[in-house]
Structure 1
């Protein structure tokens, strides 16, 4: 007889994702703060810290406020935290609605009219990781143009996780996102 594994439910899953993201963001912040100050871990350098230490006793003190999650409007879904340059940058929110059989320029306009934008390539990877079930198994436009081929733009396949570029006049699907800047991490 196989034991049935119970799902943590949407609120439990959301809490697990947020807690993991907050823990990683805090660790990255501690590391970057130490690097900016030219400091290293007390264990590796023999240096001791005069003030309070983190749970490992070796990193410089950094005060962080409680991570504040954005308010979601009706139909929106929280996708997670996006980091840029190793630091938490913004919360990513998937907006309701979807377009199919749409070219890239029209998709960009539709996303703007929906109150959002097409996601970046890294945001699409986060959407694939955290909200794959909210997408059809199809290709979706990103907001990123190909660097050397101006008539191409990038897309994400939501059946296998691949990214590839397509001619902008190609007919793919589109979803819009909005971003909420993270302002809750303050250096001491």
Structure 2
């Protein structure tokens, strides 16, 4: 009788572990957006997920060792940079795959700025600005030679140095990466810059 009770307890405990693993996977898959929470929860979350840094984009909530960014633009850039190296996936918005407008859409949405999901619609938001007036956090829009000659690519400015602009974006060949606007391909395809924040 003791053996049967012991076996039942083991079976129940193993099945409990199995279900908790499933719930962790659900947390890390498609719902990776982390919203603002109280300071107590942020510290607890950073400790809880410290071993899973690759699965959750970095934000103030789960980066205790990094200095918290001072502006919304810096926070959005930090969030976007956590997707570096993620493969390209048309329509993608997660670490499993990301497209250019998905990267921008999710990065801004993580900080309560809702944009349209498609780059050509994003280009209708905010204020059009000249390249000499851009700041970190502004958006660059491109026409990369598609048949309709419309805006079909977007990038987020992450740095301005040596009279050049660095932006993060998702390319079909290399996934999420940073590029410089003065690269021939991007300079020829550039269409406009816009300020959302």
Higher helix share: 2
Higher strand share: 1
Length-normalised TM-score, structure 2? 0.27
